[in-house]
Copies of this chain bind each other. A is one copy, B any other.
Amino acid sequence: MRMLKVDTIGNTRKKILEQFSDLTVLPEVVELEEGIGRIVYEDIFSPFDVPEFNRSTVDGYAVVSKDTFGVSESLPVFLDVIDSVEMGKVAEKDLKTGQAIYVPTGGMIPKGADGMIMIEYVENLDKNTIAVYRTVAPGEGIIFKGEDIRSKELLIKKGKKLSPQDIGAIAAMGINQIKVFQKPRVAIISTGDEIVPPGERVKFGQIRDINTYSLGALIENLGGTITQRLLIADDFNLIKEKLDKVLDNNHIVLISGGSSVGLKDVTAKVIDDLGEPGVFVHGLAVKPGKPTIIGKVKNKAVFGLPGHPVSAMIICRIIVGFLINRMISGENIEDVYLEAISKENIHSSPGKETYQMVELIREDGKVYAQPIYGKSGSISTLIHADGFIRINQNTEGVNKGDKVWVIRL
């Protein structure tokens, strides 16, 4: 008989790292405009200096700064305007002392110039002469070659999720295709004789399929892609046959139990039957989510999740999400949480990490977390929950007014 020693979340994550160290996804190349939200596969370095040439940050005249030293409103210096640089064109003439060249914002600074005087401080005396009424400091009004970004500088690290501003920065580098991680492929198997998909009529007493939908959407949010959704009756051989098949095509398979008694054991047995090492986590020291099973078959990950929709989502977020995150970044990124203030006292279960669904409420410029309880009734909990909080197994709970970190779903 199998020893039912439950694992802590920390221990479970450690085991996942060990077991699935070589469960990886390949890169794929996407067009830059399709890159939003994707995970960068390899470090991106700047291929050149930005700017690539000394460039003006103002509309005005490029000058030799020392020509302007000591000038003032009452004592201007007169310079010969010898050229005008066009935007997007090369500055062709060199500048010598006593001369000025017009340069628009963003335009190239001519050779010999080391400062820009803004048009506001210049008087055009005739077509070829200006009076300058202010001193220009060396470097003023210029952004120098490589000042923003140096050639070969690390721009975006492997594992970063691309934001709109990253996409803009990559475009600035002249890169129009990027290598990103393929999305880990996930199949969901929902088991139970009594489960009916949403489109079909339900006979009195049957239960609608919720988990393939909520878990599927969550997996997409977590960066995976759902390849298959299967609804299978509680038949050991059928579940085993289907699982065996979907393992070939996917990195991860989620088995979501109905509420049938003994299903947990069926799932474990199916996994063990299909090959080594089989089940390596059999129960978690958390509430809710205890009846969670994790196994390895054909070097793929199989998760047996609780049937209760709220429990299934929490475990999917903290455990399956952890594996997906590792697969697409190669690093163990910390989850990003949202800080809030607890609206109520929240009790925890002694010796177990406790997760509590909460609704976020904004009041007086503050964000509050309102715990949502439901008497086995999970649909209204699902509707109101914005996320959940984690209460450490060594603390007694959360007091009203305490700061909490909310994990978004």
Contact = CB atoms under 8 A, between A and B. Distances in A.
Interface of A: 32-33, 35-36, 50-53, 57, 59, 87-91, 104-108, 143, 147-149, 155-156, 162-177, 192-195, 197-200, 202-218, 220-221, 226, 229, 258-261, 309, 313, 334, 338-339, 362, 367, 374-380, 382-383, 385-386, 409
A204 B53 contact: yes
Given A164-B214, A175-B198, 5 more contacts: A33-B213, A33-B216, A168-B217, A169-B379, A173-B208
Contacts of A203: 90
B165 A88 contact: no
Nearest to A33: B216
Contacts of A205: 53, 88-91, 107-108
A379 B192 contact: no
A76 to B, nearest CB: 24
A104 B260 contact: yes
A374 B175 CA distance: 22
Contacts of A208: 171-174
Q: Is the interface of A mostly helix, strand, loop or mixed?
A: loop
A202 B88 CA distance: 10
A168 B214 contact: yes
A319 to B, nearest CB: 15
B172 A313 contact: no
A59 B174 CA distance: 64
Contacts of A90: 203-205
Nearest to A310: B165
Nearest to A262: B104
A213 B168 contact: yes
17 contacts: A50-B380, A52-B202, A57-B376, A87-B260, A88-B195, A107-B205, A108-B205, A164-B214, A166-B382, A166-B383, A167-B217, A168-B382, A170-B213, A171-B214, A173-B208, A174-B208, A176-B197
